[in-house]
A and B are shown apart, each in its own frame.
Chain A
Amino acid sequence: MSYRGLLAALGALVTLLFAASLLVGPAALGFTESVVALLTGRGEAVVLVMREIRLPRALLGLMVGAVLGLSGAAMQGFLRNPLAEPGLIGVSSSAALGAVIALQTGIAAAFTLALPLAALAGAALSVLLILGLAGPRGGALALILAGIAISALAGAGVALVLNLSPNPFAAMEIVFWMMGSLADRSMVHVALAAPFMLLGTLMLLTLGRGLDALTLGEDAAEAMGVRLGRLRLVLIFGTALSVGAAVAVAGTVGFVGLVVPHVLRPLVGARPSRLLPAAALGGAAMLLAADIAVRVIAPDRDLKLGVLTALVGSPFFLHLIWRMRRLEA
């Protein structure tokens, strides 16, 4: 399949899943009724359901999935390591810590943008830490160990903050921040997160050529005119913007950034630049599919997204480690 063909196919898949996401829900609405309500605004309650409940959910599924796939592909390209994934290396949990702190200190209530900004700060800090502890020369082991340490620390921070909250529900939400969910999100959340995610996405998409050149290592890339310092900054902020905003509204959903690039890499000839847009589309498809699945499997229970992505993702992760172990042996 040609590259354009692949993108077109992924685009079609995303469109299909987006439509399916709009049509799946606990309220059994008729197909025509839903579509008419969504497009024309006729039919009071149905319009509310379609426009205020299902549309934001589908939009967030699309955006969160896209940024997770994209940032996974970008980080892997930069670190030249297929295990680099925002969820696995602690970027998402650090963003969650930032978000939880903003919520529980009341800053987010006083100043709406504080929520995504705090999550962004958490994410940026962890990316800096990761690059410092396990930079491109650090290898897979250093990356995973640094990731485990950062995840554990951020996870403990999230649990601590939520447990200390005066709100009795907060402590029960540790699982949301660890596993992620799109249930009952609204257009408010879309509006809050979308600008950040969009900016982050645009930043990450500019990295293609630099990441291609990095295939040959840093010195070769630099000699080919890549400004490594700038590339690193764009990567850090692009990832922090997109993952931070995604986590602030949807919690941490792991493995999307691992599975999607892994599956798509052979289909794009392993070129990091081509992988970026493909992984964004693939991530959107995976998250939309997962979010449809949680609603079909347990319509009334708010099964967490991360549960499904981990079920799909962990075997890939094990497979990758197995393969890398063989290569290193």
Chain B
Amino acid sequence: MMLALSNLTVRRGDCPVVDRVTLTVGPGEFVGLIGPNGAGKTTLLRAALGFLAHEGESSLARLTPRERARAVAFLPQAREIAWPVDVETLVALGRAPHLGRAMGVEDRAAVERALQRMGLEGYRARVATALSGGEQARVLIARALAQETPLLLADEPVAGLDPESQIRAMQVFQDLAAEGRAVVASIHDLGLAARHCTRLVLLARGQVVADGPPAAVLTAENMAAVFGVRVFYAETPEGPVVQPLGVTR
């Protein structure tokens, strides 16, 4: 088991923002966390990491910071790069939890793998802050990959990327899952979520409304009730296709 949440609750004042979420994620899973704005996706991820005061249990929150950093990598929604460091240096920051006194051979290899996965080999000497938004997002994903943890939590990792970058990133996450690791990513694009995730968790007002394979979660009733939209859903030879068509309320 890589992530186990039981009755995880986060309150803002008296209102629960995350409400009794129970969830387990095992190896090989790529979990898409979907839900409308304000459903509590970001709060759930941050609470699961132990960054927020919460009730209930999270397996990650019990770890020491260093243990946790070796168990899970986190890709925050805000794509912050404060200083004009080069791409390789930035990606290498992901090795921090593993470092002894300095970067070793294994650390360099991990950085190399991360750069390769994200197709950034040609960018290593470029200044990260001078890249386009999409390129920066890819660099930050590479940083999280370089951490080489069994579990990756990513908050809207593909928002704002062009279609090619989105698909490539989702494929990387899929590959990680296929390699026996696990990924939990909040995603707004239902089409991408349906095609790449092994499992979807639908969140509404802090509660888990549906949890299961994409076809079981993306039902017309769920979509209408939670998102307020009508959705076209079809299984095709290329995989499931999901397209929101119109609003229902």
Contact = CB atoms under 8 A, between A and B. Distances in A.
Interface string B71-91: 011111010111111100110
A257 interface: no
Contacts of A271: 83, 85, 89
A265 B66 contact: no
Interface in A256-270: 265-266, 269-270
B83 A215 contact: yes
A279 to B, nearest CB: 13
A80 B89 CA distance: 17
Interface in B80-113: 80-86, 89-90, 93-94, 96-97, 99
B75 A220 contact: yes
A319 interface: no
Contact of A225 (B66, B78, B143, B153): B66
Interface residues of B, number: 32
B49 interface: yes
B231 interface: no
B65 interface: yes
Interface string B204-217: 00000000000000
Contact of B96 (A225, A269, A270): A225
A303 to B, nearest CB: 35
**SS of B interface (majority):** mixed
Interface in A209-228: 209, 212-217, 219-220, 222-227
A78 to B, nearest CB: 10
B50 to A, nearest CB: 9
Contacts, number: 80
B82 A80 contact: yes
A228 to B, nearest CB: 9
A272 interface: yes
Given A223-B68, A265-B83, A269-B85, A216 B46 contact: no
B69 interface: yes
Contacts of B89: 269, 271
A213 B75 CA distance: 13
A225 B76 contact: no
Interface string A196-238: 0000000000000100111111011011111100000000000
A8 B140 CA distance: 33
B73 to A, nearest CB: 7
Contacts of A225: 65-66, 68-70, 96-97
B78 A217 contact: yes
B9 interface: no
B163 to A, nearest CB: 26
Given A222-B51, A224-B69, A225-B69, A216 B83 contact: no
Contact of A222 (B65, B78, B85, B93): B65
Contacts of A213: 93, 96
B58 interface: no
B147 interface: yes
A223 B50 CA distance: 9
A213 B69 CA distance: 12
Interface string A71-107: 0000000001000000000000000000000000000
Nearest to A222: B51
A224 B65 CA distance: 8
Listed from nearest, the 7 A-B pairs whose CB atoms lie closest are: A225-B69, A223-B74, A217-B80, A80-B82, A270-B83, A219-B76, A225-B97
Interface of A: 80, 209, 212-217, 219-220, 222-227, 265-266, 269-272
Given A223-B76, A269-B86, 7 more contacts: A212-B96, A215-B93, A216-B80, A216-B143, A220-B74, A225-B69, A225-B70
11 contacts: A209-B99, A212-B93, A219-B51, A219-B78, A220-B143, A223-B74, A224-B93, A224-B97, A269-B85, A269-B89, A271-B85
